[in-house]
A and B are shown apart, each in its own frame.
Chain A
Amino acid sequence: MSTSDGTVGTATKVVDNGPGGTRWDLVVMGDGYRRSELPKFHDDVEQFWAEVLQPTPPFDELWPAINVHRVDVTSTHSGADMPCNGVGPFRTFFDASYCDPIWGSGASEWLLTVNEPLAKQVARRAVPEWNVATVLVNAEAYGGSGSPEVAVASSGSVKLIGLHELGHSAFGLADEYDTPVPISVPGEPAEPNVTRNTNRATNKWRDLVEATTPMPTSCNSGCANCRPPTHPPPPDVVGTYEGALYKPCDLYRPFPDCYMRGNQAYCPVCARAIHRVLQACLP
Chain B
Amino acid sequence: MDETPDREPVDTRRFPSSWRLTFRYDEDGTVELADREEVAMVAPGSPGPIRTDGEDYSGSWVELQDQQGRVLFDHVLHDPFRRLLAVHYPPGPRNQVVPGPPRPGEFTVVVPALPEATTAVVWSSPLEAEGRSEAAREVGRFPLPSGTRGTVDR
Q: B-contacting residues of A (Cβ < 8 Å)?
A: 20-22, 24-25, 102-108, 110-111, 116-117, 120, 128-129, 131, 142-149, 157, 160-161, 164-165, 168-175, 177, 179, 181-192, 195-197, 199, 202-204, 245-247, 251, 257, 261-264, 273-274, 276-281
Chain B contacts of A188 at CB under 8 A?
1, 3, 56-58
Structural contact, A190 and B61, CB atoms closer than 8 A: yes
Chain A contacts of B51 at CB under 8 A?
190
What is the count of residue pairs linking A and B with beta-carbon distances less than 8 angstroms?
A: 215
Binds A, one of B25-33, B64-72, B84-92, B138-146: B84-92
Structural contact, B44 and A107, CB atoms closer than 8 A: no
Structural contact, A278 and B78, CB atoms closer than 8 A: no
Structural contact, B59 and A190, CB atoms closer than 8 A: yes
Chain A residue nearest in CB terms to B98: A106
CA distance A20 to B85 in the complex (A): 32
Chain B contacts of A173 at CB under 8 A?
47, 78
Q: A184-B133, A190-B76, A190-B123 are known contacts; what are 9 more A-B pairs with Cβ within 8 Å?
A: A21-B41, A148-B107, A172-B47, A172-B61, A181-B98, A181-B132, A182-B130, A187-B56, A262-B92
Partner of A183, one of B43, B105, B132: B132
Structural contact, B95 and A177, CB atoms closer than 8 A: yes
Structural contact, A187 and B136, CB atoms closer than 8 A: yes
Partner of A111, one of B49, B75, B80, B86: B86
Q: Is the interface of A mostly helix, strand, loop or mixed?
A: loop
Chain B contacts of A276 at CB under 8 A?
9, 45-48
Structural contact, B88 and A143, CB atoms closer than 8 A: yes
Q: Is the interface of B mostly helix, strand, loop or mixed?
A: loop
Structural contact, B135 and A172, CB atoms closer than 8 A: no
Q: A-contacting residues of B (Cβ < 8 Å)?
A: 1-4, 9, 11-13, 16, 39-49, 51, 56-61, 75-80, 82, 84-101, 103, 105-110, 123, 125, 129-136
Chain B min CB distance to A129 (Å): 4
Structural contact, B48 and A273, CB atoms closer than 8 A: yes
Chain A residue nearest in CB terms to B4: A202
Chain A contacts of B46 at CB under 8 A?
276-277
CA distance A129 to B135 in the complex (A): 34
Structural contact, B130 and A184, CB atoms closer than 8 A: yes
A175-B86, A280-B43 as given contacts; A106 in contact with B99, CB under 8 Å: yes
Structural contact, A189 and B133, CB atoms closer than 8 A: yes
Structural contact, A110 and B89, CB atoms closer than 8 A: yes
CA distance A281 to B37 in the complex (A): 20
Chain B residue nearest in CB terms to A184: B130
Chain B contacts of A186 at CB under 8 A?
58, 133-135
CA distance A107 to B100 in the complex (A): 8
**Which of A190, A197, A202, A277 has the largest number of chain B CB atoms within 10 A?**
A190
CA distance A102 to B105 in the complex (A): 13
9 shortest interchain CB distances as A-B pairs: A262-B93, A187-B58, A172-B76, A106-B98, A190-B59, A21-B41, A179-B96, A142-B90, A273-B47
